[in-house]
Amino acid sequence: MKKFGFICAAVLAALMSSCGNGTPTADMKSDLDSLSYAVGMAQTQGLKEYLVQRMGVDTVYINEFIKGLNEGANAGDDKKNTAYYAGIQIGQQISQQMVTGLNNELFGEDSTKTISLKNFMAGFVAGTTGKGGLMSVEDAGKMAQAKMQVIKAQHMEEVYGPNKKACEEFMAKIAKKEGIKKLENGVFYEVLVEGKGEIPADTSRVKVNYEGKLINDSIFDSSYERNEPTTFRCNQVIPGWTNALTHMPVGSTWMVYIPQDQAYADRKAGMIDPFSCLIFKIELLGIEK
């Protein structure tokens, strides 16, 4: 049984070496041999985690990695092979990072939509070789920025357009409510407690209590629940808040109705979806000198 096991192991080792994806056999006859082996092994500390987490390698296919590793390591300084392996590496970055990142930026969590990999590669290759490009690299950068804004806006309208319509209808109703007063840019408020103190400037640092709600009455934030007033500069918050605070005497408590374009507009913020109107009860406690 021992002889049979030895022969099988030897044959297997020979087959793996011949395929180019096996583990070379160490031959440590000298200090230099031992150093070479030790350095090679020491360099693998954390490698498996890096392959999985940063490079997306499935360890089920570790032998394929070893095959590529052996080919790359034995390529030496062959410039042709160096260029080829660089192309493989950057191509994987395009697939696993660039395209994924672009899709996430444009379409968020909607996995049914993607940029065109074919056109991406056509532009990438033309830019790399300097041949056959439909525009300059500089113009391409400008077009990319402009088109990203257009496509992202179209996607946001498609997904969150109903929020914008609901906001418009809500604000129209608020405008007709008794006791409602209007500020600039479509912000409305009603006075719950009339203060007599100083009115902050936009650079003033103020102390407030507040409660924020969506138009369905869901509370998304409250300093009252934390039992802790908040301090900040008036110009460090959403435009609707700045607008209200710079008209509000210290000691006042207002109910403030903020349209989506004066809140987070097309951005998502925690529980707040894009194009959401916001309702705030704001109590201005003081101005910090």
Residue 132, in any domain of the structure: no
Distance CA 102, CA 82 (A): 28
Tens-digit pLDDT profile for residues 80-139: 888 888 888 888 888 888 888 888 888 887 888 888 988 888 898 888 888 888 888 889
Domain residue limits at 78: 20-122
Q: Are residues 175 and 109 in the same domain?
A: no
For residue 73, pLDDT beyond 60:
yes
Q: Are residues 118 and 232 in the same domain?
A: no
Residue 68, in any domain of the structure: yes
Q: Are residues 186 and 261 in the same domain?
A: yes
Instruction: Pick the closest to residue 186 from 120, 231, 119, 239 (CA basis).
Output: 239
Record the tokens describing residue 1, joined without a space: 């049984």
Tens-digit pLDDT profile for residues 199-256: 999 999 999 999 999 999 999 999 999 999 999 999 999 999 999 999 999 999 999 9
Q: What is the CA radius of gyration of the chain?
A: 31
Q: Are residues 207 and 265 in the same domain?
A: yes
3-state DSSP helix/strand/coil % of the chain, to nearest 5: 55, 15, 30
- Out of 122, 140, 156, pick the residue that ends a domain: 122
Record the tokens describing residue 8, joined without a space: 């099988």
- CATH number of the CATH domain containing 209: 3.10.50.40
Record the pTM. 0.63
Residues 6+ apart with CB under 8 A from 265: 274, 275
Distance CA 119, CA 127 (A): 12
Q: Side-chain half-sphere of 286: how many Cα atoms within 13 Å? A: 3
Q: Are residues 110 and 184 in the same domain?
A: no
Record the tokens describing residue 242, joined without a space: 């700045």
Distance CA 119, CA 280 (A): 47
Residue 56, in any domain of the structure: yes
Count the domains in the chain.
2
Residues 6+ apart with CB under 8 A from 96: 55, 56
